[in-house]
Amino acid sequence: MISPLLSIWKRNRKTIIPILIVALLLRLAVLAATTPYTTELNDQKIFEIATEYLFDGKDLYAADIEQTETPFRTQLIRNYPYGPFPTWIFAALTMIGEMVHVKFGILLRLLNIGVDLLLTFLIFVTAIRLKLDAKLLGWLYALNPLTIIITAYHGQLDVLTIFFAFLAVYVLLFSGNDKKHIGAGLLLGVSIAIKMFTILLWPWFIARLKGWKKRVLFTILAGLPFALSFLTVLTSENVGHAIRQVLLYGGAGAESGIILTLKAVGMERIASLYHVAGKYILLLTVCAAAVLFWRRLSLMEGMALSFLIAMVVAPTMGVQYFVWFLPFYLLSGFFRLRQSLIQLGILTAAMGLFYLYHAVGIGVFAGIGITPDMRPVFVAAFSVFMWLAWAGFVWLTVDALRTMTARTKKLHA
């Protein structure tokens, strides 16, 4: 599998090197410009708390944690949706930072930036192998504001987990090894262990594999890293609480378009119920899609459709979720440049308002008269753009289904 990558690199390095250089410079520029403000992010704080608990031998998932913590720290810990695996990454970065005298937050963002560059290269290579416009798709991903902000400022793990999921897809599509399902399963397993939303992709891997033995082995391997990471808390009396916190975490992101719509028409009770049931609806919907479209979609298109459905029916939408669909959508038969650019513009505006809200709260713009008492205005504008972003995902999903239906009719004709 390495040899084709090297061959593609040699033939296309004059195209891919400028893309990677620009992608790197943009992300480093955002990192440098926003470093003074990253300590204000709650995600940064919970990552540091998780590392602190690991080094001190304390149980991050303790049921009675509020008895030893402040209300603010308790709230952060209760909103920690990860298993032990990401904490090991944080601990490794912390130790490296102490050796080289670089702050944890900067190292985390540098790791994300490096992984995002690898993903940019992998998208370019995959586009070539799928006979798509690799130059266009490479530049679109390199320049998109979503992953630039998430990797270089927010420091979330979404790009890291998507990279391993995408690498699993690449292995399954292009590896000539008969045991490729083993490598793909382990890679997806690492992705799920970092941030388990990529479990939504499992049905489409299963649809691609042939034979129940390969499907069962793939499934076992995909769950192995996640399960093994929990061995570290099996001796704790709170292991049940730990598993529930990770598996049943409902999300602390902004409300989705469905909930915003229900609230707008006065259906507060139904909106509340949907918030509780939404994650189960999401899982059932993706599984139903896998059954309905089993034979009609390629692996890449199935991945894109999974995340588009997720954006439509999920009960909450954190701004970092927006990076999920990008690599798969760009490389799918659903991609349309115009629709993609419009949706990226709406998503970028939503993200900009989200971070503007936080920047106003810590007084970044006080010098030009934008004060914290203006935050409700930004919240209202953010909600409007979140609804527009949700409507955009509905639009992309409908367009994807129409494309698939038209293709099916053409084949039958």
pLDDT (tens digit, 9 = 90+) per residue, 259-287? 889 888 888 899 888 888 888 888 888 88
Look at residue 45 and tell me whether its pLDDT is greater than 60: yes
Three-class secondary structure of residue 255 per DSSP: strand
Query: pTM for this one?
Result: 0.91
Where do the H-state alpha helices sit in 101-201? 104-129, 134-143, 145-149, 158-174, 180-194
DSSP H helices, 36-81, are 42-56, 71-78
Helix axes 212-229, 180-194, angle to 10 degrees: 30
Mean of the per-residue pLDDT values for the chain? 86
Is the pLDDT confidence value at 406 over 90? no
DSSP state letter for 150: I
- Give dist(CA 214, CA 218) in Å, integer: 6
With contact defined as beta carbons under 8 Å apart, do 256 and 314 qualify?
A: yes
Provide the token pair at 369. Answer: 């008269």
Per-residue pLDDT at 250: 45
Q: Looking at residue 343, what is its pLDDT?
A: 94
| pLDDT tens by residue, 108-166 | 999 999 999 999 999 999 999 999 999 999 999 999 999 999 999 888 889 999 999 99
Q: Which residues contact 281 (CB under 8 A, 6 or more apart)?
A: 274, 313, 315
Taking only the tens place, the pLDDT of each residue in 307-341 is 999 899 988 877 788 889 999 999 999 999 999 99
- pLDDT tier at 387, thresholds 50, 70, 90: very high
Select the more confidently predicted residue: 9 or 410.
9
Radius of gyration of the chain from Cα atoms?
A: 21
pLDDT of 235 reads: 57
Question: What's the confidence (pLDDT) of residue 236?
Answer: 57
Question: pLDDT tens for residues 221-230?
Answer: 999 998 888 7
